[in-house]
Structure 1
Amino acid sequence: MAGHAVYDLFVIGGGINGCGIARDAAGRGYGVALAEAKDFASGTSSAATKLIHGGLRYLEHYEFRLVREALMEREVLWAMAPHIIRPMRFVLPYHKGGIRPAWLIRLGLFLYDHLGGRKLLPATRSLDMRRDPAAKPLKPLFTKAFEYSDGWVDDARLVVLNARDAADKGADIFARTAVVSARRENGVWVIGLRKDDGTASEVRARMLVNAAGPWVDHVLAEALGRNDVHNVRLVQGSHIVVRRKFDDPRAYFFQNPDNRIIFAIPYENDFTLIGTTDRDYTADPRKAAISSEEISYLCRAASEYFAEPVREEDIVWTYSGVRPLFDDGASKAQEATRDYVLKVEGEDGNAPLLNVFGGKLTTYRRLAEHALEKIGEAIGEKGKPWTAGSHLPGGGFVPTAYEAQVTSLKAKFGFLGDAHARRLVRLYGTLAADMLGNARSLDNLGRHFGGDLYECEVRWLMAREWARSAEDVLWRRTKRGLYLSREEAAALDDYMAGIAASSAA
């Protein structure tokens, strides 16, 4: 099972932070392994609002370091993965008597424009909502708005592409493999693993990284035998997806009377994503699901702005995740710090442990660089920081050249419809042509599972991206679950189970 007698680094957790650290470390020449108990991004990292953003509202809590770092990362990440990340403009409607005065919003947006070394993203501007098309879906009381830039990301794909690149750079990636024990022995970690088929094994590593997200304290308690640990505050965030509420490509930033904010974002062409909520959570993170209260809250909050109310019967999908925020003692869930904290134990060289608390999608690459600084101090440096100018798999094109990629793919595969070609470039970038291979017609793509999902793509995801079930494909690797029926999804599950069984035999 293991590719090294003793790894330099063993990472627990296949979310964005774990996969980002594994990729950075493997690229520097460390011997790396990573274990994820379930599927990649099956926890917090696929349940985000899917933004690459500075965090405009974090300025209210004086988190200037975090906001500046996040703002600087927006264009770095866009250049690194222009297929799965794209710029997006956000419209913040304003009316007199609102929660925040206009001068405060202007000040926040001025800082937002100037803190982070913005080069390609357009600057903030004011909108006259009596003339701007952004006013069309909103109630007429909004005569003014502010428009600013941030970014959109396919969160689950960001995770799996980091895992893929880590593997391409030599890391051993163990999917659906739980860490059941970890003990120090003769100056190294002995790590007990159990695959989901029950197969058990042990590996050794000089250093252990606990990047288990909401389960970071669970790992300390169950695998390392630590009792009474409480480093993270679990905060639930839920989202609803409804049929498209507006045609404008811009997203909306809505301020609620309770001082919270929600976003309404164009989603997968035909839908609108609305979220998120913020409430403390104490149950099993795997069982996080939207509550009826959260559904009512999101519908009510969005309906304060939209001329046509958002009704519960409009909802086509919901998802919910648990953010593991570092417990800084904040009184309210929405006030808890979104910054990350890295803590090393055992720096005397006796099998050190790095615990990763908190973090967000936007700052994952910088978190990994800071983690590698601590890893270098603990077990010796290898290589230099390298990810800032790198590309994730499929991302090797100029950020503004997405349309050129679509045109090229359609020219090579003339049978592809425009929407199909755009989706494939959005997911796979320059690798879309590799996936399609020598296909000359839709029939060459193999079995049709529904929508524009074909056997060719499913096999690619199984072979290269560790997909094993219909859920992996439909809700994490792609979002085709929004388009396939239950019967089609079940047929896909049966097909993938058959492929997995035949390959195991």
Structure 2
Amino acid sequence: MKKLSMHHRDEIYKDMKTTSLDILVIGGGITGAGILLDTVSRGLKGALIDMQDFGAGTSSRSTKLVHGGLRYLKQLEIKMVSEVGKERAIVYENAPHVTRPEWMLLPIYKGGTFGKFSTNLGLWFYDYLAGVKKEERRKMLTIEETLTKEPLLKKEWLKGSGYYVEYKTDDARLTLEVIKKAVALGGNALNYAKVIELLYEEGRVVGIVVEDQLNGEMHRIYANKIINATGPWVDQIREFDKSKGGKTLHLTKGVHLVFSQKRFPLNQAIYFDTPDGRMVFAIPRSGKTYVGTTDTSYDASIKDPRMTKDDLNYLIKAVNYMFPSIELTENDVESSWVGLRPLIHEDGKSPSQISRKDEIFNSDSGLISMAGGKLTGYRKMAENVVDLISKDLGHNIDKSRTKYMTLSGGEVGGSKGFEIFLEDKINQGISYGLSHQQSKELVYRYGSNVDNVLSEYRKFQTLKEGIDPFIFAMLRYGIDNEMICTPSDFFIRRSSALFFNIDFVNKHKDSVISFMSDEFQWTIEEKEKHNEELLRDIYYTKQPVE
């Protein structure tokens, strides 16, 4: 079985170059990951490359919800709500360790976006369209029941609330689990591999030139079909292809702020009105509360989007409006992240009004580009695009098999079996010397792959000096199975620590960098470069750009 190992990069390049690939995906976010899995699960030869780490763009910077988009009912996007609503349950069953139900409170205020009748009707319709199972269907709560659920809510003009289920996830790890499953089925994937040129024969795109971002080496990789699933970078690849005519992307920016639960002790996930009539989430998670998102047009750096003072003030004002007793200030922000949405431009529409539907562009050269869409619908998007190009590949191709396909780490007996699995593995971790919290964290992060991490912990807990064995176990597993290449890969995409446990990052960053430097035999200059990159990422989470 193939492994997504940092130490196998040369072998992976060789395999990509010598295999007769059916499909080559540019872009290692959730869309590209889904396409790779759909490809190889049908018996086709597939590969994927990304110029950054897997999920480093939009797919690690979302609101971290696998949700159906209740607000899209208001825009009458019935088909999209129905499709992605049903996909929520599929994602949950296939990866219950990184996706789980979250009851959401939708407070109803006099003069607010949703009235009592419209909320009741909307949530009922939402349940119907999404095929929500009985125990997760919406409830309508009184004022008293609402305030019992969340005492911090503004009491003035409160009329009650709707109570319904969404699904929270770790978006970066969900992306990674999809890629790992694809690799286990015979696919290939590489991060830090940047496309610098498209290759053509008789006007048809047949390959790419890749520059490895770690060592500068150049590689030529060929495939029957090339799919551009680069999210915010879709139009840049289309420019390489000279096919950026017609519809183009409209990038919008979404900012999220993270607060300590000590400062913002939220009991209950809330979906609430802002003073300007938008809707924002406030969600408790891992001892923190995070709030988001903004929705504004964006035209600055795609690689390093930053929040502004206006973004910061907007979200703090929204929180203090709905939770007036806590009186947050910008000094209370522990961390933040900024994501870009690659939407399809629509004349005359504001960022919040632009449809989140996905779209496929097929250029004269044969380059396929995908844009738009939501994290929740990644599996169906992948199925659709592989269906579309199957005839062009020239042989009989099976239908998609991913609907009931367990992702990497998901072999836990489905959502019902996960609770038993969780308890068993927590007890096992405790017996090895881990705390209850550490054991729980590992199970939610790695699912059925946790045995490999626990094995590393036991093997090295007394042998490795200078680094905590808990950290070492995750690093060792991540380097060998999740292609960790940089400290930022570990602290951001593999563990989410930069967002939800900044103290953990500050405490362990030096030992992690030293370990990785020894592991990869970095020069002094390379070690300093990676240290500066991590320090920059830490700085960006705290400081808005003026």
Q: Bigger CA drift: 188-197 or 488-497? A: 488-497
Cα distance in 2 for residues equivalent to 1:216 and 1:402: 37
Of 354, 368, 371, the match for 2:368: 354
Letter of the aligned partner of 1:428 in structure 2? Y
Identity of aligned residues (%): 29
User: TM-score of the superposition, structure 2-length normalised?
Assistant: 0.86
TM superposition shift of 1:275: 0.2
Cα distance, 1:146–1:51 mapped onto 2, change above 3 Å: same
Q: Is the partner of 1:498 in helix, strand or coil? A: helix
Cα distance in 1 for residues equivalent to 2:374 and 2:79: 14
Cα distance in 1 for residues equivalent to 2:105 and 2:441: 25
TM superposition shift of 1:448: 6.7
Q: Is the partner of 2:326 in helix, strand or coil? A: coil
In structure 1, the partner of 2:226 is 208
* Contact kept? 2:140, 2:163, Cα under 8 Å: yes
* Contact kept? 1:237, 1:323, Cα under 8 Å: yes
Of 392, 400, 403, the match for 1:378: 392
Q: Is the partner of 2:253 in helix, strand or coil? A: strand
Cα distance, 1:85–1:444 mapped onto 2, change above 3 Å: farther
Of 492, 495, 500, the match for 2:512: 492
Letter of the aligned partner of 2:190 in structure 1? F
Counterpart check, 1:310 vs 2:328: yes
Q: Is the partner of 2:416 in helix, strand or coil? A: coil
TM superposition shift of 1:287: 2.1
Deviations for 1:247-282, whole angstroms, at most 9, x for unmatched residues? 665300111232211000012x21001000000001
Deviations for 1:286-332, whole angstroms, at most 9, x for unmatched residues? 12111110100000001111121222111100110111001132520
Give ranges in structure 2 of 5+ residues lacking alignment.
1-12, 527-546
TM superposition shift of 1:191: 1.2
TM superposition shift of 1:285: 1.1
TM superposition shift of 1:411: 3.4
Letter of the aligned partner of 1:252 in structure 2? I
* Contact kept? 2:456, 2:473, Cα under 8 Å: no
Cα distance in 1 for residues equivalent to 2:217 and 2:460: 40
Cα distance, 1:264–1:442 mapped onto 2, change above 3 Å: farther
* Contact kept? 1:344, 1:355, Cα under 8 Å: yes
Cα distance in 2 for residues equivalent to 1:191 and 1:225: 15
In structure 2, the partner of 1:337 is 355
Cα distance in 2 for residues equivalent to 1:190 and 1:106: 52
Q: Is the partner of 1:304 in helix, strand or coil? A: helix
Higher helix share: 2
Counterparts of 1:162-201 in structure 2, within 5 Å, are 162-185=178-201, 189-196=206-213, 197-201=215-219
In structure 1, the partner of 2:434 is 416
Letter of the aligned partner of 1:404 in structure 2? I
Cα distance, 1:112–1:406 mapped onto 2, change above 3 Å: same
Give ranges in structure 1 of 5+ residues lacking alignment.
none
In structure 1, the partner of 2:530 is none
Of 252, 257, 265, the match for 2:283: 265
Counterparts of 1:244-323 in structure 2, within 5 Å, are 244=261, 250-267=268-285, 269-306=286-323, 307-323=325-341
Counterpart check, 1:118 vs 2:119: no
Deviations for 1:120-143, whole angstroms, at most 9, x for unmatched residues? 651111222324522312222235
Letter of the aligned partner of 1:477 in structure 2? R
* Contact kept? 1:406, 1:421, Cα under 8 Å: no
Cα distance in 2 for residues equivalent to 1:448 and 1:47: 32
User: TM-score of the superposition, structure 1-length normalised?
Assistant: 0.93
Q: Bigger CA drift: 436-445 or 205-214? A: 436-445
Counterpart check, 1:470 vs 2:487: yes
In structure 2, the partner of 1:10 is 24
Cα distance, 1:259–1:447 mapped onto 2, change above 3 Å: farther
In structure 2, the partner of 1:456 is 473
Counterpart check, 1:147 vs 2:163: yes
Cα distance in 1 for residues equivalent to 2:404 and 2:522: 41
Counterparts of 1:400-415 in structure 2, within 5 Å, are 400-413=416-429, 414=431, 415=433
Q: Bigger CA drift: 149-158 or 177-186? A: 177-186
Cα distance in 2 for residues equivalent to 1:384 and 1:24: 9
Letter of the aligned partner of 1:489 in structure 2? K
Of 496, 518, 532, the match for 1:479: 496
Deviations for 1:131-175, whole angstroms, at most 9, x for unmatched residues? 452231222223511111110010000111111111111112121
